[in-house]
Chains A and B, each alone.
Chain A
């Protein structure tokens, strides 16, 4: 069975500081991995995805993520956080891009000014 673990429920960072959100997954085959962001009162928006090739993937809004097969991880990073990045972030895994995805429990990011 596929599963996703996001160990950090809530993270607070100062504006301008770097950010890393952790994601570990369990999947029996080659996974498709995703990061989504949900702003208050909104649906989810895709930040980036990985399924093959370069293990460092670039996404929208200056985010990037690195796939590490040996650690079953897909951590999300941003070098300098902006106050508008405050939101909830979800990691997901699935068998393809627009298929049944399994989501983590989410990490809520708070940005202090």
Chain B
């Protein structure tokens, strides 16, 4: 089975702290994504990557950065966490093509106090 693993299911951080959310996939997928999920807003794309060391901004990149040094790992970084970044963060990976699909991790729920 494809597995997308998000290292932390629940995190509590303080305003101003630097936060790392890690995502690892085990299926050699080229494409990886970070989404943020909020009630009533659905999923919104933060950043994505179609290759190692490549990154592109999604719809809501402000306050976030990413790193993809290895194909299987895609990290989301909050340089200085703020309370409005309290949310559920979902990582996804996949390979394009007619038989492709996105596989999602179980999510990381971040609370910023």
Contact = CB atoms under 8 A, between A and B. Distances in A.
Given A98-B29, A106-B42, A41 B97 contact: no
A97 B33 CA distance: 13
B55 to A, nearest CB: 12
Nearest to B91: A43
Interface in B18-32: 29, 31
A43 B106 contact: yes
Contacts of A92: 43
B96 A43 contact: no
Nearest to B9: A41
Q: At the interface, is chain A mostly helix, strand, loop or mixed?
A: loop
Contact of B102 (A9, A98, A104): A98
B100 A97 contact: yes
Contact of B42 (A34, A43, A90, A98): A90
B94 A103 contact: no
Interface string A35-74: 0100001111110010100000000000000000000000
Interface string B91-108: 011111111111011110
B110 interface: no
A105 interface: yes
Given A4-B42, A43-B105, 17 more contacts: A34-B101, A42-B106, A43-B4, A44-B43, A44-B92, A44-B104, A46-B101, A96-B96, A96-B100, A97-B96, A97-B98, A97-B100, A97-B101, A98-B31, A98-B94, A98-B95, A98-B101
